[in-house]
Amino acid sequence: MKCVSSFLFDCGDFFFIRSLFVSPILLLTICALNFEAFTKTPVLPSVLITIPIVLLFLIPIRFALGCFGWKAEELAAEKNNRNPIIVFITLLGIIISVLTRFIVLTARSDFPYHVEKWVADGFTEDRMDSFYLLEKNRKCCGTTGADSYIAKNWSIPLTCCKEKLNNAKDKKSSDSDEDGSFTDNVSDAIEGFIDRTDSKLDNAMTDVEYKVVNDSFCTADNAFDGCNMVLVKYMFTLARLNIGFTSVIILFDLITILFAVFVIYELKAKEPPADPNTDDNIIEKVPVPHQLEEQFKY
């Protein structure tokens, strides 16, 4: 029960929270939040499955370390000195940080494979709405670029464009013609009206055609890089941040341990020498049998 109570108590400890959430769980959670466009694909569910697995892997380890911590605390309480607990907790932080670093460095080579699989799973006709959202948020295009749309004979969507295209061309206004006076000849007036109507209709059709083509598609030359490349770079950036953060934690913990050891050494040096007359050092002398015989002789 002491191990259990120690573990539950340590759950609220800052070092435990830090050690736990600086682990790959943090990296996976950030990835899940930034893959919001893939809510209809297997990506987010797979991340949500991975997080409990990592938790189940870390909790028994932390439980065992909690038992060791309880033993260290018990030993420290006997000597009325809690500095060993500081050393234990910082050592725990180093262990978790080193494990995190190792996991990230080991898994980093697998990032491209998993990212390409996620993107390929999302780049299907029934999931394009989610994929368009991904392209808009991450500023990428298709799996490998505009060529991924061309290979499927699909039109390149506006979400692939680097610059916002104009919704329509400048209208060819003919308002000035509208205000022109009709000739006295009725036939000329009717002919002029028909000409102006035809001109407006032509301009309107041109605008509609331009809008349909240019507001719905963009060209390959104006497209972003593929989502594979963009997301792999993003994952590597997160990995570098994770490695850098854990490196700072490891350095901080090492400095903390050095200070803790120094404090323990100083406290030991300042302890007064043991008094031989104290109760702990008085040894009751029990007479041996031959001494008793000599006493009874007299």
Query: What is the end-to-end Cα distance of the chain in Å, rounded?
Result: 61
Tokens for 163?
A: 């610059």
Asked if residues 158 and 218 have their Cβ atoms less than 8 Å apart, the reply is yes
Counting other chains too, the contacts that 26-34 makes at CB distance below 8 Å and 24 or more residues apart are 26/242, 27/104, 27/238, 27/239, 27/242, 28/54, 30/238, 31/235, 31/238, 34/137, 34/138, 34/234
The predicted pLDDT at position 182 comes to 42
Longest dimension (CA), the chain: 166
Give, for all 298 residues of the chain, the pLDDT tens digit. Answer: 455 444 444 444 444 444 444 555 555 555 555 444 444 444 444 545 555 555 556 556 555 555 655 555 565 555 555 556 666 666 666 776 676 677 667 667 777 787 788 788 888 877 788 888 888 888 889 888 889 898 888 888 888 887 644 333 343 344 444 444 444 554 555 555 556 655 555 554 444 443 444 445 678 888 888 888 888 888 788 777 777 777 777 777 777 767 767 766 676 676 666 555 555 444 444 454 555 455 555 5
Chain position carrying tokens 């854990």: 246
The predicted pLDDT at position 189 comes to 55
| Number of alpha carbons in the 13 Å side-chain half-sphere of residue 37 | 22
Helix (H), strand (E) at residue 260? helix 227-270
The predicted pLDDT at position 45 comes to 46
Asked if residues 42 and 119 have their Cβ atoms less than 8 Å apart, the reply is no
